[in-house]
Amino acid sequence: MSNWTHGDIQANGISIHYVEQGTGPLVLFCHGFPESWYSWRHQIPAVAAAGYRAVALDMRGYGQTSQPESVDAYSLSHLVGDVVAAVTALGESEAVVVGHDWGAPVAWNAALMRPDVFRAIACLSVPFNPPFSLPEGMDLDMVMQQMAGDRNYYRLYFQEPGKAEAEFEADLARSMLGFMYSISGDIIADGVHTEGWDGHFPGDETLLDQLVVPAQLPAWLTQADIDFYVGEMQRSGFRGGVNWYRNIKKIPSILAPFVGATINQPSLYLYGEYDLIAGNTEAAIAALPEVLPNLQGLHKFSGAGHWLQQERPREVNAALLDWLAALDR
């Protein structure tokens, strides 16, 4: 990583840290929860070597990027605005945007709202969900509560300010390793679980209770990786990332002008066999060819979980580079 460039740009009212390598057309990477630009450590050099300018952001609230105090500063409008503004601040007029986990809905909706800026989109682990309207008096928190019933749900668990942050920050190493292992494919391969976790859990338990810490690190994750993530969380804390979830109920109203619209740019979707954590259901995946008219690739990675670009870096790089090459032919 010694030949990678670190920088900071002033965009959308905050300072955004990024890492880049290479020259050529811009490919902009957006990470999810609870990660950092480092989540793309395997993709940055591969994409750069293929003739692109690979830039991975520390998203709002994470790492060395600004962490605004207000919960309201983490709405989808702010998150999309950061990515759009970053393209201009990097001296470019357009980009291919790539997103994983929370970075995926940010990327999907950036492409939906600004097709003039984002010429193509690739997402991992969270499929495109077209904008929709809710009945009067309903919001997404209420919908999630109805679906959960007597159970708790991780997105609902995040709603109380301060609660999840205190829980996770009490032992950052345990929390980070627990998140990484518990929704990876390894927890199935090791026989700890028999199926992927969809984020629901008993109402009398905490979210931390659901996280399993393995006796041995999975092959795709090193102690240096865990140490890096822990160091970044020591810098930023969990509050900014959790605040993304506290704005979920605003998403339908933010996207209301786009109900009935879709993404017409070339798109690519990659997902793990055992990943159920963020709406990655069979029905949602089966619907993608209908809701994305220019979907150019849909790939399932057998045995993989949620951390797809880290669990299966070579396979993800191959799929991404093949798709990028086809775009530019």
- What amino acid occupies position 132? F
Grouped pLDDT means (10 residues each) for the chain, 329 residues: 89 97 98 98 98 98 97 98 98 98 98 98 97 88 91 94 95 97 98 95 94 96 97 96 96 96 98 93 94 97 98 98 93
CA–CA separation, 309 and 175 (whole Å) = 20
Distance of CA 236 to the CA centre of its chain: 17
Q: Which of 78, 100, 200, 306 is catalytic?
A: 306
| Sole residue written with tokens 């191959």 | 318
| Sole residue written with tokens 């775009």 | 327
Q: Which of 17, 31, 82, 101 is catalytic?
A: 101
CA–CA separation, 19 and 7 (whole Å) = 6
CA–CA separation, 84 and 115 (whole Å) = 11
- What amino acid occupies position 23? T
DSSP alpha helix (H) spans, 11-135:
43-49, 76-89, 103-113
| Phi, psi (degrees; rounded to nearest 5) at 140 | -65, -30
Nearest to 266 by CA among 77, 24, 98: 98
Q: Is residue 101 annotated as part of the catalytic site, yes or no?
A: yes
CA Rg, the chain, in Å? Answer: 18
Pick the CATH number of 5-328 from 3.40.50.1820, 3.40.630.40, 3.40.50.720, 3.40.50.300: 3.40.50.1820
Q: Is the Cβ–Cβ distance between 43 and 122 less than 8 Å?
A: no
CA–CA separation, 294 and 219 (whole Å) = 35
Residues whose CB falls within 8 Å of the CB of residue 318, separated by 6 or more in sequence, listed in order: none
* Whole-number pLDDT of residue 45: 97
- What amino acid occupies position 50? A
The conformation of residue 42, written as its DSSP 8-state character, comes to T
End-to-end CA distance of the chain: 30
* Whole-number pLDDT of residue 1: 67
| Phi, psi (degrees; rounded to nearest 5) at 48 | -65, -45
30, two tokens: 């957006």
Q: Is residue 31 annotated as part of the catalytic site, yes or no?
A: no
Quote the longest CA-to-CA distance of the chain. 55
